[in-house]
Structure 1
């Protein structure tokens, strides 16, 4: 099977945009020209603390995790995998420097659009403005639902929900990152997995 090409990735991006709202073909093709491909190797950072966040991104293939350091420990807020829009939203909206990291947990292909390019297009097209608003709302809700998930569910319930909703992460992401994402220690996660496997 041949590896996806740049054309394949852009077609997927086009389909993703159209899943939010209708956009005229000519306008959509013009919009796609603003996206620049960024290849991020496993372990490399896309955004680091102190960096100005002026791009909105799309994961064509791979996995980016969003985290901060607290007392030297990684606190993972979210994983962005294939066909998802993302950025460090607080810094992007406020046009400030980031307090977080966006790092690849595997070799990843990302497409980024500069905020000024995006906003100039939104001013010219209600269709694209609607897409921008909805995609940003979705990115915000991913972070909001994580806070709700951590506060309203038991450790085991959080793990089982991840197993149900995003089972691919368990194969793609190191266990210590999964544990951080769930608000657990690696040992705590291991105990839950063992307990569930025994009960099944």
Structure 2
């Protein structure tokens, strides 16, 4: 797979790039392979990279005081994943980012990104749009969690992110939705009988 082409395609969905800009961008990104269950970011590390998933699936989660995992983000090819708070504030990460499948991430270090903003100004517009989009998605998810039932949240998730449901184990989808795997299983069975 041409991971560089996947990255450029993602960027060019939001901004146009000349050939020279494409080359410059690719000079700043480096691939990192992750084995299944390998960590990209560990709690208390400072996140210094922006991470684009070129292959595989990755999750972001935090552990509560009782040792329970709470999934904040699920990502597959073509998605960006990070502890953005840690990255932007340069403070210790509050959660983990871990490969669910064997994955490849295209990464750009914070200092390289700052350099890229100067050499390829359109890159700054791209990342501004990505961060704005991420903020909107987070706000939307927060509102849905407060205003919808668990069943409605699952239906919304399945409608918007069908490919995620098929790539992640049920217990991870349940954690992302804030329900137990047993509850999610019963909702899925109920919906299956209605659909047929």
Instruction: Please indicate the TM-score interval, normalised by the length of the shorter structure.
Output: over 0.9
1:44-67 C-alpha deviation (Å, 9 max, x unpaired): 111010111000010011111111
Match of 2:21 among 24, 27, 40: 27
Secondary structure of 2:54's partner? strand
Gaps of at least 5 residues in structure 1 are: none
| More divergent stretch after superposition (122-131 vs 61-70) | 122-131
TM-score by length of 1: 0.92
Using the TM superposition, give the Cα deviation of residue 69 of structure 1 relative to its aligned residue in structure 2, in angstroms: 0.5
Counterpart of 1:154 in structure 2 is 149
Secondary structure of 2:63's partner? strand
2:60–2:81 CA contact under 8 A, matched in 1: no
1:77–1:143 CA contact under 8 A, matched in 2: no
Counterpart of 1:13 in structure 2 is 7
Please give the alpha-carbon distance, in whole angstroms, between the structure 1 residues aligned to 2:140 and 2:181.
Answer: 22
| More divergent stretch after superposition (20-29 vs 75-84) | 20-29
Please give the alpha-carbon distance, in whole angstroms, between the structure 2 residues aligned to 1:141 and 1:105.
Answer: 25
Gaps of at least 5 residues in structure 2 are: none
- State the number of aligned residues: 194
- Runs of 4+ aligned structure 1 residues displaced above 6 Å come to none
Using the TM superposition, give the Cα deviation of residue 136 of structure 1 relative to its aligned residue in structure 2, in angstroms: 2.1
Using the TM superposition, give the Cα deviation of residue 188 of structure 1 relative to its aligned residue in structure 2, in angstroms: 0.9
- Structure 2 residue 158 is matched with structure 1 residue 163: yes
| More divergent stretch after superposition (51-60 vs 132-141) | 132-141
TM-score by length of 2: 0.93
1:78–1:142 CA contact under 8 A, matched in 2: no
